[in-house]
Amino acid sequence: MEWRCWYSLFLFKEFTKVVTIDGTDQKAIVVPCNFTGAEVGVYKGDNTVTLLSHIPFLKKLYCIDRWEEYDGYSKDLKYNFPNTDLTMEEIFNNFKKTIIPVIEKVEILRMDSAEAINFIPNDSLDFVFIDGNHKYEIVKRDILMYIPKVKIGGILSGHDYIRFKNEPEHRYEVKKAVDEIFSNNVNIEGTVWFTKRLG
């Protein structure tokens, strides 16, 4: 299963429960109210669209990205999207067109993730998905900054934990940051890491 679909299904299962309606054989799915998440590192918005189409009770998704080049950007781009000739401004404009059907659920924060935390209340997110700059210092900074934004029991997660054989060396820095912060208290599914905020 493709990682974006797996992650959406994981969140759906994690935050819903099936209950039996009293005195019957019928069951109902109980969904959370005001289910809110944040995605750090959006790029074209593939994960944004997957989350919003697979989790109908997702009320709000903060989409955080500068949509501009950063140190190491060209290395990431050449590996992930080798046939991309678009500028970051064109990619951002395409993203806005892509989310038109779900725009009422999206809050775009076109800024650095360190600045975006000022627009998200503490203990307000049910989940955060970190997939921005993959440099060790930035991954560690993003995780530590977004922990207080997630509710107790909410999900802290991200992408590119596993470095495959042909991937650039710098992509391994995600694993280093995640392991340093969470030690053995992190789960891995494919390239996705996740854990719950305990306190």
User: Length of the chain in residues, anyone?
Assistant: 199
* Secondary structure letter of residue 112 according to DSSP: -
Q: Check whether 70 has a pLDDT greater than 80.
A: no
Q: What helix, strand, coil percent values describe the chain, rounded to 5?
A: 40, 25, 35
pLDDT of residue 74: 57
Neighbours of 189 (CB within 10 A): 15
- 38 exposed, middle or buried (CB, 10 Å; 0-12, 13-18, 19+)? buried
Q: How confident is the model at residue 149 (pLDDT cuts 50, 70, 90)?
A: very high
pLDDT of residue 37: 98
Neighbours of 31 (CB within 10 A): 14
Question: Which residue type sits at 62?
Answer: Y
Q: How far apart are CA 77 and CA 80, in angstroms?
A: 5
Structure-token pair, residue 70 = 């950063």
Burial 16-25 (b: 16+ CB within 10 A, else e): eeeeeeeeee
Q: Check whether 111 has a pLDDT greater than 60.
A: yes
Structure-token pair, residue 115 = 């600045």
Q: How far apart are CA 196 and CA 174, in angstroms?
A: 18
Structure-token pair, residue 106 = 């999206």
How many structural domains does the chain have? Answer: 1
Q: Check whether 11 has a pLDDT greater than 60.
A: yes
pLDDT tens string 15-46: 998 888 887 878 888 888 999 999 999 999 99
Q: Which domain holds residue 89?
A: 3-196
Q: How far is CA 189 from the centre of its chain?
A: 14
Q: How confident is the model at residue 165 (pLDDT cuts 50, 70, 90)?
A: low
Pair type for strands 187-189 and 17-20? unpaired
Q: How far apart are CA 66 and CA 132, in angstroms?
A: 10
Residue the block writes with tokens 């596993």:
162
> For residue 116, what is the domain's CATH number?
3.40.50.150
pLDDT of residue 78: 56
